[in-house]
Amino acid sequence: MGHRDIIVVGASAGGVGALTRLVRSLPRDLPATLLVVLHIGSRNSSLPEILASAGLLPAGFAEDGAPLLYGRILVARPDHHLHLGPEGVRLSRGPRENGTRPAVDPLFRSAARTYGPRVIGVILSGTLGDGTAGLAEIKHHGGATVVQDPEDADYPGMPLSALRNTTVDYRIPVTGMADLLVRLTALPHRPGARPQPGTPIARLRKDDGDLPMEGYDLTAPVALTCPHCGGALAETTVDSLRYFTCHIGHRFAAPDMEEAQFRKLEESLEIALRSLNERAALCRRLAETARKKGHSHSAAHWERAMQEVEERAAMLAGFIQQGWRRPDPGGDEDPAS
């Protein structure tokens, strides 16, 4: 019988510590490939070195076209999504999902659609909702789903989002998760020979083209625009979690959409305040110039304009400083274990 031999892991804030504790307990002869996405954006990252020194498994950044080898850890590169295709690893600089690249959902989604029941999906510490839709895809295609107990996570947002919005097989602290993963790799899922540790699972053909943009249908748009590009958004639902996708391919789970929209709102207000302050400064200079030329009527006009702008800028500054009510878009209760 075949077995589960592809473990995909997603993490964000607090994820380095959780990942370190996880790989520390994994055996050298793990009969699976471990693929990791951490929200590192475009920053330089030493995560492969950290994971390699923490445990017995070698770790490195994923290379486009690389085979999947048992007993190896492949980490998503900065500013690149990590995908799995029919022949192995693919990297892309496709649109950001949930505000980040690399994102967890592209890895989970592509692994589920390509390898189905061979996949084990794991969500660790992080904020907002990245990974939830991908975990639902893994479950839908017959894979196993594992989530770090939110009480064990430094940042429980990602685990809570998964537990609230999709079916999860195992909710467990990181301590003990390695043993669970080893047990899950031994469970049969379909007929087929079990490859030996260290042998390639799949290799990419050299003539494969670029990854196509996926996930957007020209459905009726909702009355919302993309916080990244301003394009119209289409709304879908994955299990019980709402998703918003623009025609460029920027994709947001509801918590990430709320966060991105709020940041755009604050940025817009700050730009407005800056513009008002700059106009007040310009009016002041024009008033000074008019006074020097003896144009008292014109100077008085610019001074009144300056005072008007300063009053409105003070009102806007006070408005911004009041803060905002931020309800949790995912709910307000910890789901039952």
12 given a catalytic annotation: yes
pTM attached to this predicted model: 0.77
234-283, pLDDT tens digit by residue? 888 877 788 888 888 888 888 888 888 888 888 999 999 999 999 999 99
Q: Indicate if the alpha-carbon torsion angle 218, 223, 224, 225 is positive or negative.
A: positive
Is pLDDT above 60 for 336? no
Residue 194's pLDDT is 38
* Cα of 193 vs its chain's centroid, Å: 35
Catalytic residue (choose from 5, 105, 130, 256): 130
Q: Which listed residue (3, 5, 39, 149) is catalytic?
A: 39
- Find the mean pLDDT for residues 207-236: 66
pLDDT tens-digit readout, 34-58: 999 999 999 999 999 999 999 999 9
The pLDDT tens digits of the residues spanning 155-186 come to 999 999 999 999 999 999 999 999 999 999 99
**Digit-coded pLDDT (tens) for 95-150:** 999 999 999 999 999 999 999 999 999 999 999 999 999 999 999 999 999 999 99
Spot the catalytic one: 5, 12, 125, 250. Answer: 12
Two structure tokens written together for 77:
């590169």
Helix axes 157-165, 132-140, angle to 10 degrees: 40
Crossing angle, helix 177-185 and helix 15-24, to 10 degrees?
60
